[in-house]
């Protein structure tokens, strides 16, 4: 079981995060490393939780929402509630992301039109007067 443990440096290298990030997630009760004096040791469960945290962060989930979903793991229902709630949260987040994308595409199209109009106006200024 000791071979299963990783130090903070190993975790940082494996997940491309800083020690400060790991301590922050620990303070937010998202991961729970073991302590051996001042040394933090991370087990397989911590690594799994960190992987999910980083994925959730990438998708724009709030840390509190991730903490609540991760804490459902220990409910004893074979993670059925955790999976169900995570699935619903992911569907909602996807809908939000798609709406944001649509709004961004609309703004991009509008800006392109404005740039084209601006280019036409600048060209008109450069034409010699008749």
Encode pLDDT of 5-58 as tens digits.
999 999 999 999 999 999 999 999 999 999 999 999 999 999 999 999 999 999
Give tens-digit pLDDT for 93-104.
999 999 999 999
Q: How many Å apart are CA 2 and CA 6, to the nearest integer? A: 9
Identify the bridge partners of residue 7 per DSSP, sorted by sequence position: 41
């Amino acid at each position: 079981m000791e071979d299963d443990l990783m130090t903070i440096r190993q975790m940082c290298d494996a997940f491309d995060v800083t020690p400060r990030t790991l301590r922050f997630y620990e303070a937010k009760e998202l991961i729970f490393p073991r302590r051996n004096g001042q040394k933090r040791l991370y087990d397989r469960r911590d690594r799994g939780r960190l992987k999910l945290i980083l994925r959730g962060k990438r998708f724009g989930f709030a840390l509190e929402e991730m903490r609540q979903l991760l804490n459902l793991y220990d409910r004893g229902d074979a993670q059925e509630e955790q999976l169900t709630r995570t699935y619903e949260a992911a569907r909602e987040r996807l809908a939000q992301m798609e709406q944001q994308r649509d709004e961004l595409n609309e703004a991009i199209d509008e800006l392109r039109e404005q740039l084209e109009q601006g280019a036409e106006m600048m060209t008109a200024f450069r034409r010699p007067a008749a």
